[in-house]
Chain A
Amino acid sequence: MISRKTSAVFSNFARRCSTQSPLNVSTATTSSNLTDTSSSDAPVELERNPYEKEPRKCLLCRTSVTLDYKNSRLLQQFISTFSGRVYDRHITGLCDKQQNKLVETIAKSRRAGYMPVFVKDPKYVRDPKLFDPLKPIRPHSFA
């Protein structure tokens, strides 16, 4: 009973909103729903949460950078200065697809002779840091 009353209040409010601001997306959907139902007291159901945040994307997906085995400077930004190994996904913060591609491309680049195998090239040690290995996004890549 309570919900019916509140929904009536909300629908009235929504109608007022739609009349006031027709450009608003969320209220536009409610107004279309209102026309469908015969009674104005019917509860308004939104199709999706209007306050939903956009899903976060990884660095390479966000910037739409494609990894190339010839671009060894970019690849070496994902390599540890200390051990010369590729950082794991909980440190690089890449999605599964990009991380797999990164490992593949680094292997290719090393095979083709563009990249050192055991170390990071000392020329690129002072390149800007893409992530902080001391602050991983997860405690471990399997965790």
Chain B
Amino acid sequence: MPFYEVTVITRSLSKSNLVKALVRAGNTLLNNGAVIEKVESLGHRDLPYKRIAKQTKEPVYAANFFLFQTHMSTDARKKTKSILINDLDTVHVDVLPVETANIDAPCNLEEILKPPAERTAVKELRENQKLGHFPRQMIYKRTEKEWKSIPKSYTIAPPRP
């Protein structure tokens, strides 16, 4: 079961209603076979932009943010998300997978700071890049021009001995 973080943003509610809404959200998760590892309150925060509460159509400027850390199947994720989104007390819900053990690629800032002629990426391009029709024609014409500019015989015939 993949690890997901469920962000629940509620509309402005009284404390008792908030508890009810939270318990409802938790129960929907559990009823659909999710395992809740942790529930966290991220506090009463200003929303990044105004949102509209469902049904009452009230504008919401600040709201309670909650975070459920859960393990659930991908089907359960779809189902719970659709349920939580349609809950009247939530303003916004999102279920995001948590990345674990990202591969530690070394920092390549030094490579970026080099001039293009010394960069390995550019070198690779220079050596392995396929030429399109147009650049190939350009190169052909340029070499042809250079070749033709070389005189093949003397313009004035050398004097006879």
Contacts and interface: CB of A to CB of B under 8 A. Distances in A.
Contacts of A58: 107, 109
A89 interface: yes
Contacts of A114: 7, 48
Interface of A is mostly: loop
Nearest to B48: A116
Interface in A46-78: 55-58, 61-62, 69-70, 72
Select the residue from A58, A69, A95 with max chain B CB neighbours within 10 A. Answer: A95
B88 interface: no
Interface residues of A, number: 30
Interface string B23-58: 000000000000000000010001111000000000
Contacts of A115: 48
B112 A108 contact: no
A137 B107 contact: no
A107 to B, nearest CB: 11
B107 A57 contact: yes
Contacts of B91: 113
B48 A111 contact: no
Contacts of B67: 70
A95 B107 contact: yes
Interface of A: 55-58, 61-62, 69-70, 72, 89, 93-98, 101, 108, 111-117, 121, 123, 137-138, 143
Contacts of A111: 94, 96
Q: How many B residues touch the partner, as a band?
A: 20 to 34
Contact of B112 (A70, A96, A113): A96
Contact of A95 (B7, B42, B96, B109): B109
Interface in B69-127: 91-92, 94, 96, 102, 105, 107-110, 112-113, 116
A56 B48 contact: no
Contacts of B105: 96-97
A70 B107 contact: no
A33 B140 CA distance: 54
B23 to A, nearest CB: 22
A112 B48 CA distance: 11
A72 B48 contact: yes
13 contacts: A57-B109, A58-B107, A58-B109, A70-B67, A94-B109, A95-B107, A95-B109, A97-B105, A98-B107, A113-B47, A114-B48, A138-B112, A143-B116
Contact of B94 (A95, A113, A121, A137): A113
Given A58-B107, A89-B112, 5 more contacts: A57-B109, A95-B108, A113-B91, A116-B49, A137-B113
A51 B94 CA distance: 52
